[in-house]
Amino acid sequence: MRRLLRRRLRLVPPLAFAALVVAQPAFAGGMRIQSVDTSGFPAVRVTFVAPLGAATPRLTEDALPVTGYTAVNLGRQKAIVLALDRSQSMQGRPLVNALAAARAFIGAAGPDDHVGIVAFGHTALGLGRFSGTAADAESSLNGLTVDGQSGTALYDAIGLAASHLGSDNSPGRAIVVVTDGRDVSSSSTLQQAVAAAHAAHASIYTIGIGGPSFTPEALQSLSRETGGSYRQVARTRDLGGVYAALASELDRTWQLTYVTSARPGMTLRLAATVPGVGTAVGTAQVVGGETAAIAPSNLIPSFGYSGAGTIVVALAVGLLVLLSCFFWFASRRGNQLRARIEPHLGVVDRSAKVQRRQGRAAARVQVADGLEQVLGNLRQFKRLQLTLERADLPLRAGELLAICAATGLFFGLVTAVTASPTLVILGVMVICGSLPLAFVSFKAARRIGRFENQLPDLLITMAASLKAGHSFRQGIQSVVDEGAEPAAKEFRRVLTETQLGKPMDAALADLGGRVGSKNLTFVINAVTIQRQIGGSLAGLFDMVADTVRQRQQFARKVKGLTAMGRMSAYVLVALPFFIGLVVTLLNPVYMSPLYHTGTGQKLIGGGLTMIIVGSAMLKKIVSFRG
């Protein structure tokens, strides 16, 4: 009995050691924050390994919940590039085993994964097309042979893979490197390869094939600094098991990206929590951003960089602004006082002011004349001048185009200062440059609407004047004397043109083309025909006035019946823009893929196209042609 007990006691240390050895992989496969990438400051990318099938983790920074972060599970959808060594050291069976294991690894990729292949020997080259399916990547491995020149361009291969991943739209990105040697022929360095992976937001997972001259330090550094992991095998026939373990790790890996409120040099205390499972913590120092690389100027004392120094500088700037405003208002007050006193003193010397005004007027005339000489024969330019006449604005078409160009350029420069993308700057320039044209068109349409509303009463006034025995010219004069603007002004111009020798029919035709009212054109045609064939002009005006009034009443009735439909169209068209603006202001990180990815931009283009087509259809439904 004692012997049996002694034997069992002797087995306790080995069993305990075995338990620790078995428990160690379980601990390694648990939750951990693998890396924190701050190179894209203020964006921070956290690589977090969670248990398989875990829910979306929650992230806190300095004990405060992080909002608006994106969580991507590499096991669901990712873009992955397999960088395979084909240097001369892989001659024979090692390359055959590596290709077989690579095909098995690629074949296990998900249906939504984008897979690419990079082979590197003396140089790095891409095989097949990137952003393709697993089948495309697997077929690109066929016929891969050992490089005829000696060398291993490991860092160039990582740079090539990162450049292709940077143009991919997948939210998760990874680079898998398989090699049995160290870099000897790349034009890039280790730091440049790490920087390229950071720029592509990709993690590097390295697999080293052991050998007499194999050194794992570079591969370990690549994995450690990009949030990946390092594995090593003694023979290429063991790659299948390593690939399986790597695929399992990718299924459990999350990439959490958010915008931090910390400044360069500060230490982040991060905690990733899986509900119902546990929490993993980690720390990292913010070293990204250009601010961290800028040394303080020696011209400013160190006190100026402290909190109190910032307050002093702000007070000094505010005092300078107040002083400049004070002096400006004081000078304006003196000019106003001088202008009020000079007429009583009999000394009126405004030659400088008059010269400045004349100079500005001459500059405007030169700009307008130059534009009219270049664009005067275009139909659109003539139509723009006609729109200005209908809007009754004291501008020439050349001056309006100059205003549009200046407005678009000003707001384009303001947008460029904010470091906006080129397409956004061009869009702002086009929209803001079109605002003066939209204002002129709106004012012209409003003036035409007022004219059409006055037209029935004007015709009745002219008919009454004709019935009283007055002539047609006197009837127009009664409209000028008793009518309201803009009708009185337009008919006054008709009388002025006839006094200068233009025939009445030609003056009325110019009036119809200048105003652009369909009802007025109908009236002028009826008057022209009556003046040629004779008849009662007063009765004609009564009949035409009644017809115009009925047309306007019918148009108002149609407008009232379609008011609900038009309002629904306005709401439906404005709702996507309103929702997009609000969500962007509340959570810009959430909307970032819509604006900065190819798929998101295609969705925006498709949505705008459907809105334009739908708006045209709704406008066609509710429009009325009288």
DSSP string, 463-529: HHHHHTT--HHHHHHHHHHH--TTHHHHHHHHHHHHHTT--HHHHHHHHHHHH--HHHHHHHHHHHH
On the question of pLDDT at 4 being above 60, the answer is no
On the question of pLDDT at 608 being above 70, the answer is yes
Please give the structure tokens belonging to residue 605: 């283009």
Q: What is the model's pLDDT at position 361?
A: 65
52 class by beta-carbon count within 10 Å (0-12 exposed, 13-18 middle, 19+ buried): exposed
Spell out the long-range contacts of 12-19 with Cβ–Cβ below 8 A and sequence spacing 24 or more. none
Every domain range in the chain assigned CATH 3.40.50.410: 76-252
Of 368 and 446, the structure prediction assigns the larger pLDDT to 446
76-252 to CATH, choices 3.40.50.2300, 3.40.50.410, 3.40.1160.10, 3.40.50.200: 3.40.50.410
In percent, the amount of the chain with pLDDT more than 70 equals 83
**How many Å apart are CA 168 and CA 130, to the nearest integer?**
8
On the question of pLDDT at 503 being above 60, the answer is yes
Q: What is the model's pLDDT at position 329?
A: 67
Q: pLDDT of 483-492, one tens digit each?
A: 778 888 888 8
Helix axes 397-417 and 351-375, enclosed angle (nearest 10)? 100
Of 146 and 356, the structure prediction assigns the larger pLDDT to 146
291 confidence band (pLDDT: 50, 70, 90)? very low
Kindly state the average pLDDT of the residues 480-509: 83
What Cα–Cα distance (Å) separates residue 228 from each residue in 200, 246, 340, 496, 550?
A: 14, 10, 79, 86, 78
Q: What is the model's pLDDT at position 109?
A: 79
Please give the structure tokens belonging to residue 33: 């924050």
Q: What is the model's pLDDT at position 29?
A: 43
Count other Cβ atoms within 10 Å, centred on residue 486: 17
**How many Å apart are CA 491 and CA 540, to the nearest integer?**
19
Q: pLDDT of 172-212, one tens digit each?
A: 888 998 888 778 888 888 888 888 888 888 889 888 887 76
The total number of residues shown for the chain amounts to: 626
Q: pLDDT of 135-161, one tens digit each?
A: 777 777 777 888 888 888 888 888 888
Q: What is the model's pLDDT at position 353?
A: 59
183: left (phi over 0), alpha (psi -120 to 50) or beta: beta
Q: Is 584 helix (H, G, I), strand (E, B) or coil?
A: helix
DSSP category for residue 193: H
DSSP 66-105: --S-EEEETTTS-EEEEEEE-SGGGTTHHHHHHHHHHHHH
129 confidence band (pLDDT: 50, 70, 90)? low
On the question of pLDDT at 77 being above 60, the answer is yes
354 confidence band (pLDDT: 50, 70, 90)? low
| 272, 59 contact by CB (below 8 A) | yes
Most confident of 16-25, 508-517, 606-615: 606-615
| 397, 388 contact by CB (below 8 A) | yes
20 confidence band (pLDDT: 50, 70, 90)? very low
33 confidence band (pLDDT: 50, 70, 90)? confident
| 232, 216 contact by CB (below 8 A) | yes
In percent, the amount of the chain with pLDDT more than 90 equals 1
On the question of pLDDT at 504 being above 70, the answer is yes
Q: What is the model's pLDDT at position 24?
A: 31
| Residues ≥6 apart with Cβ < 8 Å to 109 | 80, 115, 134
Q: pLDDT of 215-232, one tens digit each?
A: 788 888 888 888 888 888
String of b and e for 255-282 (b: at least 16 CB within 10 Å)? bbbbbbebebeeebebbbbbeeeeebeb
Least confident interval from 41-50, 211-220, 563-572: 211-220
On the question of pLDDT at 40 being above 50, the answer is yes
Q: What is the model's pLDDT at position 3?
A: 47
26 confidence band (pLDDT: 50, 70, 90)? very low
**How many Å apart are CA 507 and CA 546, to the nearest integer?**
24
